Homo-oligomer: A and B are copies of this chain.
Amino acid sequence: MPASHNPKQNQLLAALPAADYERLLPHLEPVTLPLGLVVFESGSKLRHLYFPASGIVSLLYAMEDGASTEIAVIGNEGVVGIALFMGGESTPSRAVVQSAGHGYRLKAAVLKTEFELGGPLQHLLLRYTPALIAQMTQTAVCNRHHAVDQQLCRRLLLSLDRLPSNKLTMTQELIANMLGVRREGVTEAAGNLQEAGLIRYSRGHITVLDRPKLEAQVCECYAVVKREMDRLLPDKTAC
């Protein structure tokens, strides 16, 4: 297995003690996560728990009228499909690969068995959950109170945190769907950022030129979520 494909690229897997990791390893099935892949559909039965190693997965909720909103963003710091180990077998939201990459997955049955052991894996997964919840609640707050410009900043930073480079691949149309706003609204907000020299934009390719300024402009929502993530998933995660 090449160095670029190592389960330990996922921070939760990396935080497992050696013994637990070794036991899990044979069950970790490598998967590629091409852009647009639907990891699981709204309401359908969950068959695997996914550990992204690279790339980004979005949790989306699509309404009856077709409009959608992104609920959370998951990269190599987390897992996709938390309902699985909580005894739910499906969720009303949908998981879509929003930035291509790869990862590993665990069969539902294996996960369940391992989880029931009550060891480090259980603790890690449980500890991750409130961090994810923080992200969801902050999404709700941001949707209510903040302007599109700020939400765009937040969204860019969320992706940036989960990618190795300062280049993002996402069209304005895509961003609009994630934020649940008009495409034109994103055009305008992105134009402002470009004007101010924070990003460069071109046909689906965004280069972040000045991250500090981006952080200066984003709403508090970003920091709140990041703090929770850092707090609950430190290197020193004691299990």
- A137 near B88 with CB under 8 A, answer no
Across-interface contacts of A71 in B (CB, < 8 A): 137, 140-141
- B138 near A137 with CB under 8 A, answer no
A126 within 8 A of B: yes
Interchain nearest-CB distance for A113 vs B (Å): 12
Cross-interface CB contact of A67 among B92, B136, B143, B145, cutoff 8 Å: B145
Write out, one digit per residue, whether chain A residues 88-105 have a CB within 8 A of any chain B CB (1) or not (0): 100111000000000000
Interface class of chain A by DSSP: helix
- A137 near B86 with CB under 8 A, answer no
A41 within 8 A of B: no
- Stretch in contact with the other chain, from A48-56, A127-135, A186-194: A127-135
Assembled-state Cα–Cα distance A123/B85 (Å): 10
- A63 near B127 with CB under 8 A, answer no
Interchain nearest-CB distance for A108 vs B (Å): 15
A118 within 8 A of B: yes
Assembled-state Cα–Cα distance A127/B85 (Å): 9
